[in-house]
């Protein structure tokens, strides 16, 4: 039987994951299918069990189920344990469920693809929600000189940073403590969704600095428009979406797909 994979979310109709994984499967000649499933908000575990009973071998998990997915795993990657969330489920040969989170690996891969040097860089990360928690371990793994998390609600950034101090030089604060210039500034808040901009100082960027928004849209987000006007090189999160998908695909199928063709096709569709 053809191996089955899916993405679980609620809502899920606009997910790009089926198109991405179908393109990966075609490119790497994998016999698999991949669909989108809208799971009921109060029974993610039931939806996963039904999927497995129907031949499901693995899944991506998106809002609002990443914590539910984390709870049903028998085994977790270190990154997923740190994140408290899972975006990739894999059914192992013995029937146990393995969980990983590939968002941070996807972000780092996309930054590197754009030639961003993280080692020794001063990095500012805006936001302290689930999206930011999920990328901290891989970012710290690149040895920035400093990883500063700034958030509207300061205590959330402080406690988040405290959970990761063993992995590198990380600190958390409110926006008011943003100081000096940064080499890389990443927006992980959901402020862009509301068309809002976190309060940022004019002197935020070093020469040649890089601004990244974990969100993507046809038009630049408010954060990227603001950053571009202040001389930063700007990129949105579409590449992160494709790279995290590639990392999930590699876990399931043992082959690493090329991301560039899929990314340019998605970019065209966004226009």
> What backbone torsions phi and psi does residue 229 show, to the nearest 5 degrees?
-65, -15
Among 22, 81, 113, 152, binds ligand ATR (CB under 6 A): 152
Nearer CB in complex with ligand ATR: 79/189? 189
181 contacts 158 by C-beta, under 8 angstroms:
no
3-state secondary structure at position 268:
helix
Contacting range for ligand ATR; rule: CB under 6 A; set: 41-49, 94-102, 140-148, 152-160:
152-160
Residue 198 interacting with ligand ATR (CB under 6 A): yes
**Residue 9 CB coordination number (10 Å):** 21
Residues touching ligand ATR, count (CB under 6 A): 16
The secondary element (H helix, E strand) that includes residue 4 is strand 3-9
Nearer CB in complex with ligand ATR: 84/130? 130
* 156 annotated as ligand-binding: yes
Residue 196 interacting with ligand ATR (CB under 6 A): yes
Q: Which of 57, 66, 90, 112 is catalytic?
A: 66
Q: In terms of Cα–Cα distance, which of 166, 192, 171, 191 is closest to 182?
A: 171
Residue 176 interacting with ligand ATR (CB under 6 A): no
Determine if residue 233 is left, alpha or beta; phi over 0 gives left, psi from -120 to 50 gives alpha, anything else beta: beta
66 catalytic, yes or no? yes
Distance of CA 220 to the CA centre of its chain: 18
- Chain positions contacting ligand ATR, by CB under 6 A: 127-132, 151-153, 156, 189-191, 194, 196, 198
Q: Output the known binding site for shikimate.
A: 15-17, 62, 87, 103, 216, 244
């Amino acid at each position: 039987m053809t191996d089955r994979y899916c993405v679980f979310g609620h809502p899920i109709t606009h997910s790009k994951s089926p198109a991405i994984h179908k393109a990966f499967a075609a490119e790497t000649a994998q016999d698999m299918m991949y669909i989108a499933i809208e799971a009921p908000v109060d029974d993610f575990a039931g939806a996963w069990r039904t999927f497995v009973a129907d031949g499901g071998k693995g899944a991506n998990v998106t809002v609002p189920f990443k914590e539910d997915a984390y709870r049903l795993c028998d085994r977790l990657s270190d990154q997923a344990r740190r994140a408290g969330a899972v975006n990739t489920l894999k059914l192992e040969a013995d029937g146990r469920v393995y969980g990983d989170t590939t968002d941070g690996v996807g972000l780092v891969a996309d930054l590197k693809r754009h030639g961003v040097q993280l080692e020794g860089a001063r990095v500012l990360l805006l936001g302290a929600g689930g999206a930011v928690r999920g990328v901290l371990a891989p970012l710290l793994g690149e040895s920035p000189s400093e990883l500063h998390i700034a958030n509207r609600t300061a205590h959330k950034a402080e406690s988040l940073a405290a959970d990761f101090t063993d992995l590198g030089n990380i600190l958390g604060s409110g926006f008011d403590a943003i100081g000096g210039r940064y080499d890389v500034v990443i927006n992980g808040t959901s402020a862009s969704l509301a068309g809002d901009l976190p309060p940022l100082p004019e002197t935020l960027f070093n020469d040649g600095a890089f601004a990244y928004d974990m969100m993507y849209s046809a038009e630049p987000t408010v954060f990227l428009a603001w950053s571009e006007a202040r001389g930063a090189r700007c990129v949105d999160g579409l590449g992160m979406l494709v790279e995290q998908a590639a990392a999930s695909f590699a876990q399931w199928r043992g082959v690493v797909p090329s991301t560039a063709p899929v990314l340019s096709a998605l970019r065209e569709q966004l226009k």
